[in-house]
Amino acid sequence: MSEHIHLEVTIPAARPEQVYELLTNGAKFGDITGQSGKGGGAPGAYFSLFDGWLDGRQVELVPNERISQAWRFTDWEPGVYSMVRFTLTDENGATKMVVDQDGVPDDVHEHVRTNWRGFYFEPFIKHFAGLGS
């Protein structure tokens, strides 16, 4: 398996509870990314994102602070899951989101690492910018 992925982004005009809701509600996540999602609201809950290309389970949920997920893309080998942890911190009306991910297969590691920006960070920033504070 590949090396650890660690990324950080600040989402202006977003409170941690708002970001937490998007990360734990597949349907709302789908609304802002334009690719359907479902599920994910409770520990152990199944979720699916990106029109079914990614699925997983919520492993640990600490409301408005931390989310741990086991997820995989449907084209990965059977039984291969990546562990993803989101840590959310309030920074004067913005949310700092730290992403730590382990267990991404080597052949797609760089693809997964570089796509966090386009599939998570940019849609989140655009969504909250459109809401105002």
CA angle 34, 84, 39 (to 5 degrees): 45
Chain segment 42-84, per-residue pLDDT in tens = 999 999 999 999 999 999 999 999 999 999 999 999 999 999 9
Q: Residue 96's pLDDT is what?
A: 98
**Matching residue, tokens 């849609």:** 123
Show the domains of the chain with their CATH numbers: 5-131 (3.30.530.20)
Measured between alpha carbons, how far is 133 from 131 in angstroms, rounded to an integer? 6
Chain segment 72-82, per-residue pLDDT in tens = 999 999 999 99
Other Cβ atoms within 10 Å of 69 Cβ, number:
23
